[in-house]
Amino acid sequence: MHAVPVSFYISRFSFASDRILLEMKKMEVPNSVQEDKQKVIFVTYVIAALEITWLFVQFSITPYLAKRLGFDTLWFGYLQTTVGIIQLLGGPIFGRFADLFGARAALSLSCLASVVYYSLLALANSTTMLFIHKFPVVFMHSLPGTQMVVADLTEPERRADALAKLGLCFGIGMIMGSSLGGTLSTQYGEHFAACVAAVGSFVSLLLVLKFIPQHTKTQSSQDHNNEKRSIFNLGNIARLMKFPGVMKIFSVKLVSGLPSGIFQVMFSIIAMNFFHLEAAHNGYLMAYIGVVQMFIQGAVIGRLTSRYSEKSLLLLAVAMASFVGLTQAFMASVLQFCIVVIPMMFSLSVFNVITDSMLTKSVPSSDTGTMMGLCASVQSFMRTVGPTIGGFLYENYGVPSFGFIQFMVNAAVFTFLFLGRRAEEHRD
């Protein structure tokens, strides 16, 4: 477009036209930036789906490989606890690393660690090697890493819906990984399935290096982080708890999520010993759970977040979790569990998305990665204490004990949140 010479005799109509064209030209840049962001978010979803796929390939083969190598329920619990402790230490540090050095560096580190992890699993032929192969999980935080990218590139009001779409990717990965892992381990053995997962994580690494920008935060946020470059400064990580509302929501996330987390940690044992499922059948069951989660994350949560407040949805999720615990206490067959899965995945999906969204909105944008790392550490904490608590409950009180504890804990949390909300409304 050629410039128009300025003249005192330019008509008002021409002047107005030039102003409109100028404003339209200014709008082209934001539209282009938005398109680039959407492209990065789409690729991030693909990476998340792939990494969850390989993770569930590993989930579907490890219990059976461990059993073949001589692990009993107690030693399998020790193995799960080892993973939880390592990831518990690595989660917040990984988040801080992402805030300081960018999403591409963090996700690349996670995918590279996954390649090593699955390669070592493919070589595991003893109980010692099965423990050694778990050490790379200190850097394996692909889901928190993709959450960081999505949180950085979306507006606060759209963040819950965008994070829910990552849950959709989780469901896709669960379906593909569980089915693929069960089929590969049955046809070709656990070691071959682990090799496939290692190759798949290498593909994810290439996608990260090709499509994810070095930094996904705004320049001001990045400059703010560069002023305090310290990955291992626990004070910089712990200070996030001092922001208004963070400690309350984080405590709810930990306490309310613990009973369901214990059940999830023990589910492979429950499927094998209580439901008496083979590897392939267990894969089909996990695929069914993935379909349910996929529908809820993709078609339900977005509509809920656009109509209801996050505080109301948090109350709903906790109440539903209490109801699910009561139903779990009385289930006795796989068919009954398949029915319970629907409200269970609804409560888990809404709870995780809403708490993550609320926590990232409560801290500066320069610290969203660290907060996502702290959120991931909650899951790691459950993997740490879950096998010990779960093994004790399973051996002494059976599967119904998981449901009764979940019912009581979430009923107490719901009462706490409800009374706190009523008190806030009364003050207002």
CB 237: neighbour CB atoms within 10 A? 21
pLDDT score, position 1: 41
Taking the alpha carbons at both ends of the chain, their separation in whole angstroms is 56
- In angstroms, the CA 172 to CA 287 distance is 9
- In angstroms, the CA 414 to CA 395 distance is 29
Q: What DSSP line would sit under 164-185, residue for residue?
A: HHHHHHHHHHHHHHHHHHHHHH
- In angstroms, the CA 338 to CA 70 distance is 30
The 10s digit of each residue's pLDDT in 139-176 is 888 888 888 888 888 887 778 788 878 877 887 887 88
- In angstroms, the CA 323 to CA 330 distance is 12
- In angstroms, the CA 337 to CA 358 distance is 31
- In angstroms, the CA 93 to CA 411 distance is 33
pLDDT score, position 413: 94
pLDDT score, position 7: 47
- In angstroms, the CA 225 to CA 291 distance is 39
Contacts of 69 (CB under 8 A, 6+ apart): 124, 125, 126, 127, 130
pLDDT score, position 33: 66
pLDDT score, position 92: 78
- In angstroms, the CA 259 to CA 9 distance is 77
* Residue-by-residue pLDDT tens, the chain, 428 positions: 444 444 443 444 344 445 434 444 444 445 666 777 888 889 999 999 999 999 888 887 887 788 788 777 667 777 777 877 888 778 778 878 887 888 888 899 999 999 999 999 888 888 888 888 888 988 888 888 888 888 888 887 778 788 878 877 887 887 888 778 878 888 888 889 889 999 999 999 999 999 888 877 765 555 555 545 556 566 666 778 888 888 999 999 999 989 988 888 888 778 878 887 876 677 778 778 878 888 888 788 888 888 888 889 999 999 999 999 999 999 888 889 999 999 999 999 899 889 988 888 888 877 777 787 788 778 778 777 877 788 888 888 888 999 999 999 999 999 999 988 887 777 76
- In angstroms, the CA 208 to CA 106 distance is 10
Burial class (CB in 10 A: 0-12, 13-18, 19+), 335: exposed
The 10s digit of each residue's pLDDT in 220-272 is 555 555 545 556 566 666 778 888 888 999 999 999 989 988 888 888 778 87
Phi, psi of 155 (to 5 degrees): -75, 150
pLDDT score, position 234: 64
Of 166, 164, 115, the C-alpha closest to 145 is 166
* Domains in the chain with CATH codes: 38-218+239-427 (1.20.1250.20)
pLDDT score, position 9: 38
pLDDT score, position 225: 52
Are 368 and 155 spatial neighbours (Cβ–Cβ below 8 Å)? no
Encoded tokens for 111: 């995918």
CB 157: neighbour CB atoms within 10 A? 11
CB 27: neighbour CB atoms within 10 A? 10
pLDDT score, position 147: 83
pLDDT score, position 69: 80
**Positive or negative, the Cα torsion across 354, 356, 362, 364?**
negative
Chain centroid to Cα 113, Å, comes to: 17
**3-class SS shares of the chain: helix, strand, coil, % to 5:** 85, 0, 15
Are 123 and 328 spatial neighbours (Cβ–Cβ below 8 Å)? no
